[in-house]
Amino acid sequence: MLGLQVDRHATMPMPMRLAPAELVFLDGPDAVSFAHAQFTSDVKALAPGRWQWSAWLDAQGRVRHFFLLARPQPDRLLAWLPLGGAAPLREALARYVLRARLSLTAETEWSLHGLDANADTAAPTLDADAIAPHGDGFAFRQPGGDRIAWLAPSRGPAAEPAMLERWRARDVEAGLPLLAPELGGEFVPQALDLERLDAIRFDKGCYPGQEIAARLHFRGGNKRSLRRLSANGLPPPPGAQLRDADGTDAGRVLYAAAPDEGATAIAVLRIDIPQGADLTGDAGNLFVTMDV
């Protein structure tokens, strides 16, 4: 039992689409061993019907992609990139397949649907790290409230923009270091706090960038950290520069949301920026830092 009970033949109401969903499927008898040798998480420990956070580093130990990695079937993995980048990830991974028995497929015509685990009668019953079939897609819990993500081929009406803003605000609340494609290769794992999410391991053997990331882990030297921000203006775009009171570079925004009043964001900042500091963005917005 994977934690989900669903009648595949029942007529299921289709919730509105929150956002496009980009996925990479890895299929074949070598899918798990291939992913274990490429990604930062302990993929071999991932049981069928479960998911974990993971990442793929470049040779310099910087994060190319951050994603949810799930194993819906023994010989199948899926990587969901919440802010996109499936096609580049699939293309780059394909260079390393060589004789491995697996296929790589990028899906960019899927959608994210949000379900409320308490209020939505169509919401499945899931354990915290379970993923299971739901309709013609997959459902799993997400941190930041009692919410369930349902990924399925695109159909149904699009949700109001405010619904996606509230969903992204919960991502911020949960301290998820979602990475837009244009920010790939900018940050080391420690700056994105991947250890807090158990998205990186240093005891499972080599993977791209592992030596440099491990050196930072064991010897120190990281100068940036993940922080939550609040703003009194419009949400800044991914990659927006932030400056401190002296006008010095303080860090960059990963993503932001404006759920109701004001805005909230996740950013990578200098570790010496104190909690409560005022930061200025490109558009002159005022930010107040908070711990993740």
**And the tokens for 235?**
């949400």
Q: How many domains does the chain have?
A: 2
pLDDT at 8: 39
For residue 114, what are the β-bridge partners?
Answer: 149
Model confidence pLDDT, tens digit, residues 22-35: 999 999 999 999 99
pLDDT at 119: 65
Q: Which residue's entry shows tokens 């689409």?
A: 17
Do 146 and 272 reside in the same domain of the chain? no
The CATH number for 88's domain is 3.30.1360.120
Do 229 and 151 reside in the same domain of the chain? no
Range scoring the smallest mean pLDDT among 19-33, 222-236, 246-260: 222-236
Do 27 and 135 reside in the same domain of the chain? yes
**Does any domain span residue 270?**
yes
The torsion region of residue 234 among left (phi > 0), alpha (psi -120 to 50) and beta comes to beta
Is a pLDDT exceeding 80 seen at residue 82? yes
Q: Which residue's entry shows tokens 């409230």?
A: 145
Question: CB–CB of 3/126 below 8 Å?
Answer: yes
**Does any domain span residue 141?**
yes
Do 67 and 151 reside in the same domain of the chain? yes
Rounded percentage of the chain residues whose pLDDT exceeds 90 = 74
End-to-end CA distance of the chain: 34
Can you give the C-alpha Rg of the chain in angstroms? 19
Query: 0.75 cut: is pTM over it?
Result: yes
Do 142 and 237 reside in the same domain of the chain? no
Arithmetic mean of pLDDT, 48-72 = 98
Per the structure, the complete domain to which residue 266 belongs is given by 181-187+223-291
**Does any domain span residue 169?**
no
pLDDT band, residue 5 (cuts 50/70/90): very low
Arithmetic mean of pLDDT, 66-78 = 98
pLDDT at 122: 65
Arithmetic mean of pLDDT, 66-87 = 98
**Does any domain span residue 52?**
yes
Model confidence pLDDT, tens digit, residues 127-157: 889 999 998 999 999 998 889 999 999 877 8
**And the tokens for 193?**
């706090």
**Does any domain span residue 164?**
no
Q: Residue 12 and residue 280: Cα distance in Å, rounded?
A: 46
